[in-house]
Amino acid sequence: MAQVATAVRHNGQRASESSRVPHVPGPGRRRQLPLVAIGVLLVVGCALGFADASLHLGTREEVLAVAQPVAAGQVLTGADLRAVKVSTGSGLAVVAVGAEGSVVGRRAAVALLPGSLLTAAEVGSAPAVGAGSDVVAVGLKPGGYPPALVPGDRVEVVPVPSSGSTTGSVAAGSPVDATVLSVEGAPVGSGAPTVLSLEVAARDAGEVAALAAAGQASVVEMGAGS
């Protein structure tokens, strides 16, 4: 029996089913494949970069922040500071909570505002004297003090009546214990006195200052067993 080809229409033309040509992708489709691969790589790269940034931003540490207003020159206390968490890599030389002991007891180099992060540059040196003590400058001429005095030496400020002083003068008093903080020598041949900065008890500061102003103070170095 004769085989009859089934006719179909293609764009208005008739053709036999046996004359169909297999479809072969053109060159345009092949050129799109590398672009798709590049797009996939870009997406993956962006995702990895975002994940890495998230991990770094998620790393936080506890640092010190200012809890209440602090004036420049004020001695920092624990009540002036509080702990906060910030992201590492902030670029600031912040003070970690674990280093609180290195800043408490030191003076603020600048005025500090509540809520601001405490940085190393905002903290000055420790105060020269502790609570209950004052610093008094005493100018002495040669013979009024041991020439080998250095900071840290323990001395006594002894009242010495000046020539022509009367009973009841400033020099009528008891020796005052003191510690040498600094010695500023006078230029040779200037005739100016050497200035000693002395740490004394706050209750004795006025007496020592009065003796120094009247030129009736002499300094005696105390022995190791005194």
For 140, list phi and psi in degrees, rounded to 5: -130, 140
Residue 4 is predicted with a pLDDT of 44
For 22, list phi and psi in degrees, rounded to 5: -55, 145
Q: Is 209 exposed, middle or buried (0-12, 13-18, 19+ CB in 10 A)?
A: middle
Question: Among 51-55, 102-106, 154-158, 206-210, which stretch is predicted with the lowest mean pLDDT?
Answer: 51-55
Q: What distance, in Å, lies between the first and last C-alpha atoms of the chain? A: 140
* Highest-scoring range by mean pLDDT, 46-60, 108-122, 155-169: 108-122
- The whole-angstrom separation of Cα 74 and Cα 42 is 56
What mean pLDDT do residues 96-119 have?
A: 87
Enumerate residues 6+ apart whose C-beta is below 8 A from 108. 70, 71, 72, 73, 74, 76, 122, 123, 124
What mean pLDDT do residues 60-79 have?
A: 86
DSSP letter at 117 equals B
Mean pLDDT, the chain, integer: 76
- The whole-angstrom separation of Cα 129 and Cα 135 is 7
Residue 167 has pLDDT above 70, yes or no: no
- Closest-CA residue to 100 (of 64, 124, 61): 64
Q: Is the pTM of this model over 0.75?
A: no
Residue 132 has pLDDT above 90, yes or no: no
Residue 204 is predicted with a pLDDT of 93
H helices within the chain, ranges in order?
A: 27-58, 205-214
Burial call 132-145: b when 16+ CB within 10 Å, e when fewer: ebbbbebbbeeebb
